[in-house]
Amino acid sequence: MISETSLPSNTRPLSPSVLANLKKSPTVRDWLDISACGEVQIHTGKVEIGQGILHAMASIASSQLSLSPHQIKVMAANTLRSPDEAVTSGSLSIQDSGATLQQVCAQVRVRSINAFAKQYAVTIKDVVLEEGFLQAGEHRAPLVSFITTSILDEAVSLEPWDPKQPNIGLKQSDNPKLEETQRRPDLAQKVLGEFEYIQDILKPQMLWGLVLHPRTLKGQLIKESFKAFESFALQITGVTQVVHDAALVGVLAKSEQALSRCNAYLELHTLWDESRSELPSELQNNQVLASWLRSQPLQSQSITPEGVGDYSTARTLNAPNAPNPSKTQSDSADGALSVKATFTRPYVQHASIGLCTALGHWQGEGEERRLLVITHSQGIYNLRRDLGLAFGLPSQNIHVQHHPGAGCYGHNGADDVAYDAAWLAQFAPEHWVRVQWRRSDELGLSPMSPAMAVEISATASPSGQLLSWETDIWSQGHGTRPGRESSPALLGAWQVDQSSHAAPILVAINAPLQSGGGAERNAVPLYTIPQWAVHNHRVLSTPVRVSALRSLGGHVNVFALESVMDMLAQSLKMDPLTFRLNNLTDPRAIAVLKEVANMSQWSLQQEKQQGERQDSEGWGLGFAKYKNTGAYCAVVAQVVVSESVRVKSLYICADVGHVVHDDGAKNQIEGGAVQSMSLTLLEQAQLGPEGVISKDWEHYPIAKFGQTPQISVSLIDPQQSPSVGAGECSIGPTAAAIANAVSQAISARIYNMPLNAENLLKGLES
Amino acid sequence: MNTPLNFTLNFTLNAQSVTLSTAKDPDGHERSLLDLLRNELGLKATRLGCAQGQCGACTVIKDGQAILACETWISDLEGAKITTLEGLGNAHEPHPLQTAFIEVQAAQCGFCTSGIIMRSAALLEHNAKPTVKEIEAALHSNLCRCGVHERVIKAVLLASNGLTTTDHLPQRGTP
């Protein structure tokens, strides 16, 4: 649900997520502290994964405290000091952590102003806070000198701050769009080569580690192959140990070079028998994935206007039509038009440019035995919990420190490699052990985003009103993150002990719909429809490991939903924009659609397409409100189709509520759009009997320079609306806009992603 | 092992001369420039992304040409002039590309940025005013997953004085 907390106004009731944060971490000092040298330090449980969140947090604190963001230090999350805010995911950081921080900083400001007014015997409303200084008449003092221990130790108020004077002490002219506040300080460090990534950390006496996993979930170590590898590796100068526990193999060395030489051997020799994995042959052919998904054991649940409920009841209420191929029909007595179509997407991969890395270190003995881990995980407390389960250690004996890695777009291998480092470090007590996955591990072992099939039946009246909508989704769950089950959700923990006590391979689940759902994310149309139902069929088989990737099911669901909207508009001979506007009531949804139409000169382009049609060029529209509770986003794509699809331009309008960091939000929206374009046009995991085959960049190509479009982003900034995240809102609408533009360009609908030459040809043939 | 006792290898790195007594590892195997930079010389802005020559994260400049440090053997460096991101510029004297990347905020996670800047710097050495197409062609082998391609092109144009930030990019060609 939408957070009811507003930025920057402090007058709304606090949202449940902010209240939950303040229940767990109740005092000011849990969130804000003053260092020995008088620096304001912010503690957040959210982590930097390349999205610029720490700078956004600094911006929020700076606007409440009238400091420059550069005068505020946002500390990297760790389990000794930071509030527990679970996972940095789902575009929730601004609305949860940011809103909490705003409450904390508002309280600090008001309390400090009170103390200043008292000391100088001035009235509160005469106190002005400017560039970190409190001023009233001739009195002037640094804000920080008034943030006393008693203010820091106070509980954070659970009520909105002083509704009558929410902005006390703040100057109205404070402009968060000032150039200085727009620039992320970490980007300057990155551009100048000064930024330290987790991959760059070295510790004294550190050992370099390699942890080798089977390529499938049930691979078995071949003893003779291991022996041969062991004798090879131990001859390399610098290799100190070769170890294994069941299927998991580790190498410890004094140099990275020694590990590189092990890798050269491993590129030519496998250590595992993968035959037990019995990877279904259907998974090796993306053309039949959809029928495989439908044929699996399923757990079905339905969403209807009444809420989330039992599938069989909902299905009885909305009996599906007899199956028919993807087409539009006008067959009912009242002239209603119907569309029924199935859309698919294969498994896709995270494909970060950096490699998952972690450092582990064991200290002490017996009850004093402690594990230290440095990680780029999205959820340090959840990782700590699952490491505790895996190693039989109480949480208080494990310390997890976050350190940024390369871009993270969902549940990748960051948690798994943290387990690997901890596991391997057991063989070298008192040493730090650094483990980095190889490129083939990064692409071949990280959880993938599930393959999906989405079938939609929809009807509309001849006048262009939607009448009914029914969606069926087949997909594995979209979450196997740590911190949620009674056994560890860590790859290596499933492979070390293959007895009956071993940690079981976890079946992916979907988050509850009120948190945005998983496979069913964004499947419920935002359009006004008298009768609708969404049936989510969770595939219970786990032939390959899957979990969350940016926008989860939203990528496929919006692609499908907005394709059907265009199919209906086409059969109604209606402009796709007009058809959407006819069926929307939410003014913010209408506003982003109208603005994107304006930016792209939509009507003019459509007229051109109707008139002198430019061969192979198409324009398409896509829209969604992320998770149905987050940011509104409308996209217009211009494509040219020859053998393949070239996206020439993307016009994007989004409403993310009040904008905290204008350029940061735009950067996220642009990046999401490019990533979506890449997923939609190019990407498909390739699987074989021995696991993921697409484990290098040659076999898993992503969008390159020369394939990316011109992008224009416009943000509607409703000052009084709560801020929501921007990181994922452009994924679904971009996919849909491209699909609709391609359809216009080639006068045929492509139902199967990726929209590559092979699928285009198949679409044209049918 | 097959290195003669009096062996020395000399090259220039970021305008400083480097002398090595061996180019190989203790077992006589070749070592990459990437390993030397990151693990021996402490120059970590050059990044390991794939070690297979497929992503461009380790791009540096050798004698005016962009090369991949993961695929360059130390043995091949005799007399070479190598520049890494650290040698291109710094906070006091940034290279025009560094200034432009900051101005445009042409990064998100920044992991691919070092390689992209180095390849762009090599491009500008040979072609002071590249077109969008020439920039795209030069950067084709440098991967970016965060999707900041548009900003990167803007930054390179800005650094080559082909653009002010308020300008829009020129229309790109059809495929």
* CATH code for the domain in which residue A219 is found: 3.30.365.10
Q: Which residues of A touch B48 (CB under 8 A)?
A: 199, 355, 436
Compute the C-alpha angle A491/A497/A499, nearest 5°. Answer: 125
A696 → closest Cβ in B25, B54, B110: B54
Name the CA radius of gyration of chain A, rounded. 27
Euclidean distance between CA atoms A726 and A178, whole angstroms: 20
A650 three-class SS: strand
Low-confidence ranges of chain A (pLDDT < 50): 1-9, 176-177, 321-326
Name the CA radius of gyration of chain B, rounded. 17
Amino acid at A28: V
At the top level of CATH, the class of B88-159 is mainly alpha
- The answer to ipTM > 0.90 is yes
Query: Quick one: pLDDT at residue B173?
Result: 42
Supply B138's token pair: 């030069």
What is chain B's mean pLDDT, rounded?
92
Please confirm whether the linkage preceding A8 is cis (ω < 30° from 0). Answer: yes
Query: Quick one: pLDDT at residue A316?
Result: 63
A179 contacts chain B (CB < 8 A): no
Report yes or no: A534 and A293 within 8 Å, Cβ to Cβ: no
Nearest to A438 by CA among A209, A104, A105, A719: A209
Low-confidence ranges of chain B (pLDDT < 50): 1, 166, 173-175
Query: Quick one: pLDDT at residue B34?
Result: 98
Supply A359's token pair: 């450092």
Question: CA of A757: how far to CAs of A342, A645, A762, A764, B63, in Å?
Answer: 19, 8, 9, 10, 40
Task: Using the 3D structure, point to which of A157, A191, A225 is the last residue of a domain.
Answer: A191
Residue with tokens 């692609």: A559
Nearest to A34 by CA among A98, A88, A112, A100: A112
> Are A459 and A371 part of one and the same domain?
no
- Chain A, window 395-454: residues with a beta carbon less than 8 angstroms from a chain B beta carbon: 404-409, 436, 438-439
Q: Which helix (H) or strand (E) holds A680?
A: helix A662-681
Q: Domain residues for A301?
A: 293-348+449-478+517-765
> Are A68 and A28 part of one and the same domain?
yes
In a domain, residue A502? The reply is no
Nearest to B42 by CA among B9, B13, B17: B13
At the top level of CATH, the class of B9-85 is alpha beta
Count how many domains chain A has: 3
- Chain B, window 43-102: residues with a beta carbon less than 8 angstroms from a chain A beta carbon: 44-45, 47-52, 54-55, 57, 84-86, 88-91, 94, 98, 101-102
> Are A743 and A680 part of one and the same domain?
yes
Phi-psi region of A94 (alpha: psi -120 to 50; beta: other; left: phi over 0): alpha
Task: Using the 3D structure, point to which of A149, A164, A191 is the last residue of a domain.
Answer: A191
> Are A339 and A397 part of one and the same domain?
no
> Are A251 and A337 part of one and the same domain?
no
| Residue A430, burial from CB neighbour count under 10 angstroms (0-12, 13-18, 19+) | exposed
> Are A731 and A622 part of one and the same domain?
yes
Min CA distance, A178 vs chain B (Å)? Answer: 13
Q: Are B91 and A194 a contacting pair at CB < 8 A?
A: yes
B35 → closest Cβ in A257, A405, A640: A257
Supply A366's token pair: 């017996």
> Are A574 and A530 part of one and the same domain?
yes
A353 → closest Cβ in B26, B102, B144: B144
Euclidean distance between CA atoms A328 and A331, whole angstroms: 9
pTM of the model: 0.95
> Are A716 and A679 part of one and the same domain?
yes
Q: Which residues of B touch A236 (CB under 8 A)?
A: 27
pLDDT tens sequence across A448-470: 999 999 999 999 999 999 999 99
B137 → closest Cβ in A255, A671, A706: A706
Q: Which residues contact A668 (CB under 8 A, 6 or more apart)?
A: A51, A52, A726, A727, B108
> Are A727 and A630 part of one and the same domain?
yes
B113 contacts chain A (CB < 8 A): yes
> Are A429 and A474 part of one and the same domain?
no
Query: Quick one: pLDDT at residue A1?
Result: 28
In a domain, residue A374? The reply is yes
